[in-house]
A and B are shown apart, each in its own frame.
Chain A
């Protein structure tokens, strides 16, 4: 599938919201009421995938596939990644260890990033409520350490333009030969 983009990240990082904001079509979601009482609050969780499309003009479309966040659904990560041409990793800035989350998803999706020729972006979400003003700098430093040339964005997943800007940058990466990952 041309322009098949995977949007992944931990629970609550904003994947479903991002796809809902960006999509030009009604999003196919597979949310179920979260019955894990340890979480202590009523919420919903994606159990299979989210799907939406972004019109690129001239009949072309970007197909957006959101993964479930919980690791017990990790088999879906592999299923959805088949044939993907790019990946957006969303990291919740308010999580206990955002850099640890970044390392985790870069590792889990290292094969996909490699196969896509480094067509990947990182979106840092919930930056409006984090106290860490240096998070962007920290992420760029970590990516430099692992020798990945991947753009990092601060994204408010509720804002259509934020999400679209991030996704369009994926497109420009896929169309540009000289901005691919340095190595992996």
Chain B
């Protein structure tokens, strides 16, 4: 069982991550939603449209991330960084953030994919730092 301090730290971390995700969603008009998801499929923080099941999305993204990583290795392209899914009504990006988590970004149909990918990578790094800062705080 987690103690009270650990629970407060976890809640604070999720709150800071959600703020970062809201900042990402507002950074470009084409970005609609985003979530920070552990590689084993737990949604850590999410700013998604209502009606989207964040738990189910988290699990599905973990499967896709694992397969994308494996495919990258299989074709000898080195470490996996980003997976892009193009659909009729928009794009979805899975961006590797750390050894434990990924950033998932959902967009409208857009002509600014390169910029979206670049901004997403910056926020993936930012979320990684939030997670690592929290870990240090929890350990001290």
Contact = CB atoms under 8 A, between A and B. Distances in A.
Most chain B Cβ neighbours within 10 Å, of A28, A48, A73, A75: A48
A75 B67 contact: no
Nearest to B42: A35
A31 B66 CA distance: 8
Chain B contact residues (Cβ within 8 angstroms of A): what range? 20 to 34
Q: Is the interface of A mostly helix, strand, loop or mixed?
A: mixed
A158 B69 CA distance: 27
A25 to B, nearest CB: 12
A68 B62 CA distance: 11
A68 B41 CA distance: 12
Given A30-B70, A33-B100, A72 B2 contact: no
Contacts of A37: 2
Contact of B70 (A28, A33, A36, A68): A28
Q: Is the interface of B mostly helix, strand, loop or mixed?
A: helix
A47 interface: yes
Contacts of A3: none
B46 to A, nearest CB: 15
A31 B100 CA distance: 12
A28 B41 CA distance: 19
A151 B41 CA distance: 35
Interface stretch (B11-19, B52-60, B86-94, B119-127): B52-60
12 contacts: A32-B38, A32-B40, A32-B62, A33-B39, A35-B39, A35-B42, A47-B62, A47-B66, A48-B64, A73-B41, A75-B60, A76-B63
Interface of B: 2, 38-42, 55-56, 59-60, 62-67, 69-70, 74, 100
Interface of A: 28, 30-37, 45, 47-49, 68, 72-73, 75-76
